[in-house]
Amino acid sequence: IFGEGDMVRKFSRTLLKAGLASLENLVGCPSPGCENWLVLPDTDSRIKCPCELCKKDFCSLCKELYHYQTTCEEMKEFTVRWMKWMDNREENLGKVKEMTELKDRIAELEKDEAWKRSHLRCCPGCKRPIEKIDGCDLMKCGKDYHGGNRQKGCGKKFRWTKAEPYNPPKDNTHQLLQKKISMERNDNVLSYGDDGMYGFCDICSDKIEGVGFLCLNCPCYNVCEKCEGKMDHDPKHIMRVLGIEFIEEEIKEKR
């Protein structure tokens, strides 16, 4: 009736697509211009669908670029988070630097506290930390037992070997800094490890410490914070920021 023109071919193609879409175990490639269809062994599970025509891998459930280690719903949230990271990249990198400096400061303070625990004891009177440089076991808080070297102290006499070892106060500086960092940490952070797939940067090969970037569209691609600006990666891929949470507001919008 219509002849062999373009209208007939388009109509036939439309009918074919509708018929294929009605079959439960078939899924069409979502890439623009690609008309390939794939047979699914399971329609309920998330399956990686490699299209042989356009060479794109897509998710059987959400029809988006295939994503690893995350569900389709989580992928929507991580996509929003990554977009927000990129929108405020310089500010977020500044926070990374701030947290790195805090961690270095904590390491210095913990080293100081370790030295104090090994070398100091507390006056039984005023609990003041005291260092014994040399001499006998007899001590006097605030000055040498036999006189001289006057400092602040309560004057309590005691034996060095009987005094309590130094313990850091509950509200000391390094604990406050540690608390600040813990408050900034993501509650859902994947752990790094020497034997784990997130252990080393794929650019510099160094062990990832602190903040890392995990590509959710690659089987295994991880970058440390130092190499974040050196990534030569597909711009369509979504990276998950691991280690510290920078997006303060709750993610409510969905893509």
pLDDT tens for each residue of 222-237: 898 889 888 888 989 9
Q: Which residues contact 127 (CB under 8 A, 6 or more apart)?
A: none
* pLDDT confidence of residue 151: 84
Task: Please indicate, yes or no, whether residues 41 and 86 belong to a single structural domain of this protein.
Answer: no
| 39 part of a folded domain | yes
Is residue 125, in this structure, part of any structural domain at all? no
Q: How confident is the model at residue 120 (pLDDT cuts 50, 70, 90)?
A: very high
Higher pLDDT: 97 or 16? It is 97
Q: What is the reported pLDDT for 98?
A: 79
Instruction: Give the containing element (helix H, strand E) for 98.
Output: helix 89-119
Q: Specify if 171 maps to a domain.
A: no
In a domain, 158, yes or no: no
Higher pLDDT, 244 or 36: 36
Q: Evaluate whether residue 67 is within a structural domain.
A: no
Quick one: pLDDT band at residue 65, thresholds 50, 70, 90? very high
Query: How many structural domains is the chain composed of?
Result: 2
Q: Are residues 102 and 14 in the same domain?
A: no
Q: In what order do the strands lie in the sheet with 164-165?
A: 129-131, 120-122, 164-165
Of 168 and 6, the one with more pLDDT = 168
- Average pLDDT, integer, range 152-177: 82
Q: Please tell me the predicted confidence (pLDDT) of residue 187.
A: 40
* Cβ–Cβ under 8 Å, residues 154 and 123: yes
Examine residue 165 and state whether it is found in any structural domain, yes or no: no
Q: 186 vs 67, which has greater pLDDT?
A: 67
Let me know whether 199 and 237 are in one domain: yes
Q: What is the mean pLDDT of residues 29-49?
A: 85
The verdict on 25 and 53 lying in the same domain is yes
Residue 248 — pLDDT band, cuts 50, 70, 90? Answer: very low
pLDDT for position 37: 82
Are 55 and 98 found together in one domain? no
More confident residue, 175 or 60: 60
Q: Give per-residue pLDDT as tens, 26-36.
A: 888 888 888 88
pLDDT (mean) for 196-219? 81
Give the residue from 21, 36, 59 where a domain finishes.
59
The answer to whether residue 35 sits within a structural domain is yes
Is the model's pLDDT at 125 over the cut of 60? yes
Q: What is the pLDDT of residue 57?
A: 92
**Residue 224 sits in which domain range?**
72-106+185-242
Predicted local distance difference test score (pLDDT) of residue 188: 39
Structural element, H or E, at residue 11: helix 6-21
What percent of the chain stands above pLDDT 70?
74
CA dihedral 67, 71, 74, 75 (to 10 degrees): 20
Whether 55 and 90 share a structural domain? no
In a domain? residue 49: yes
Helices and strands, counts by H and E, the chain: 4, 12
Q: Find the mean pLDDT for residues 243-252.
A: 42
Mean pLDDT, the chain, rounded, equals: 78
Return all residues near 38 (Cβ < 8 A) that are at least 6 apart.
Answer: 26, 27, 28, 29, 49, 51
